[in-house]
Amino acid sequence: MIARIWNGRTPLEKADAYHTFLNERAVPDYSGVDGCLGVYILRRDSNDVAIFQTLTFWTSEKAILSFAGNELLKAKYYPEDAEFLLEFEPNVQHFEVTEGVRLETA
């Protein structure tokens, strides 16, 4: 399994709207691809910015390519991102998931 991590920052006053956008546009886009095992959106507010981290899990590089296009490590952006993001990181990070435990709550 591969974890794909993307980072982005928005002005704090746009953070709630960006979070809504991610849930309505990006999460369905990720999760609609065969081989996507999960999508998590992380957020941390810090002073005047909100830091977002998208953490997705994939079965293989082939699955990621069907989502991201021909460049495996290139970040994928949507036209709407220009309304929110302070910068555009060109690349994402990939990690092989070597161990994991999911704890179910009652």
The CA distance from 5 to 96, in Å, is 11
Expressed as residue numbers, the domain containing 61 is 2-96
pLDDT band at 106 (very low <50, low <70, confident <90, very high): low
pLDDT of residue 101: 83
The token duo for 102 is 């999911």
Instruction: State pLDDT tens for residues 51-75.
Output: 999 999 999 999 999 998 899 999 9
Please provide residue 71's backbone torsions phi and psi, each rounded to the nearest 5 degrees. -105, 105
106 within domain boundaries: no
Q: Which of 74, 60, 57 is closest to 4 using CA atoms?
A: 57
Instruction: State pLDDT tens for residues 77-104.
Output: 999 999 999 999 999 999 999 988 878 8
101 within domain boundaries: no
pTM of this structure: 0.88
Q: Rounded to 5, what percent of the chain is helix, strand, coil?
A: 30, 35, 35
Number of H helices and E strands in the chain, helices first, is 3, 4
> Residue 87 sits in a domain of what CATH number?
3.30.70.100
60 within domain boundaries: yes
The CA distance from 5 to 101, in Å, is 19
* DSSP state letter for 78: -
Instruction: State pLDDT tens for residues 23-56.
Output: 999 999 999 999 999 999 999 999 999 999 999 9
104 within domain boundaries: no
Number of domains in the chain: 1
pLDDT of residue 102: 78
- DSSP conformation letters of 42-72: EEEEETTEEEEEEEEEES-HHHHHHHH-S-T
